[in-house]
Homo-oligomer: A and B are copies of this chain.
Amino acid sequence: MSQSAKPSRTSTRSDAPVSAASTKAAAQRLKMRRELASAAMELFATKGYEATTVDEIAAAAGVARRTFFRHFRSKEEAIFPDHDDTLVRAEAVLTAAPPHEHPLDTVCRGIKEVMRMYAASPALSVERYRLTREVPALREREIASVARYERLFTRYLLGHFDEREHAGGSDDPLLAEVAASAVVTAHNHVLRRWLRAGGKGDVEAQLDHAFGIVRSAFGWGFAAGAPISSERPAATARAGDDVLVAVARTDAPLNEVMRTIQQALKEA
């Protein structure tokens, strides 16, 4: 009716994550959230995702249907309860990055937070993976979640390119987006392979290896240096254990190209 007096009752899911994080109430809230997520996964695993209603989840957790939706924005969120927090943590990694670190390495560390989130509970992740493969809605949901990380990384790279090798070219936004997508794709690939294998093995090591592959197929072995220019017409970088990559302007003096390569080989 009249919105005259009371904003008192208006806030749904107000500012739970912020402030007063260590209150007893917040702990209760977290516990309830875990309870619900656990009950949901249990039911999804046994009778399928679509065949499980929110009523049943709530009942299994001993609460009312309405309470479920106070803790999860949707039924889907109950199966991916950690993406929001992980996104925040990934962002924290970016903002706390040491100033000398290459942005692409920072981003790699950022996505590692996601990997760790999955690796923290392999059995759960594997079961969830099984569900996402056969329920289109969940698949799309996960794709959307991953896209959020990718956007975060793209923004970060875009804001940290100019300070370094890139001269702020008009193609920077494109490169930032492609680079972010490459990192995220490598992560997804390793993650899915690990999940298909049942969650066994050292994912983080596999992830680092994949980053190495991408780094060598991609061009950012040249990361630490300045751009190729008339003043610095040649540069080299390692791309894996056995391969050296050299980049040079075609008008570079040949002896300088040689010198650069020899220098790099000597350090090998």
Contacts and interface: CB of A to CB of B under 8 A. Distances in A.
Interface of A: 139-141, 143-144, 147, 171, 173-175, 177-178, 181-182, 184-186, 188-190, 193, 210, 213-214, 216-219, 228, 239, 242-251, 254, 257-258, 261-262, 265, 268
Contacts of A262: 254
Contact of A249 (B185, B242, B257): B242
Contacts of A246: 245-248, 261
Contacts of A243: 228, 247-250
Contacts of A174: 186, 189-190, 210, 213-214
When all copies of this chain in the complex are counted, the total is: 2
Contacts of A217: 175, 178, 218-219
Contacts of A144: 139-140, 143-144
A175 B213 contact: yes
8 contacts: A174-B189, A178-B186, A242-B250, A242-B251, A243-B248, A243-B250, A244-B248, A245-B248
Contacts of A258: 258
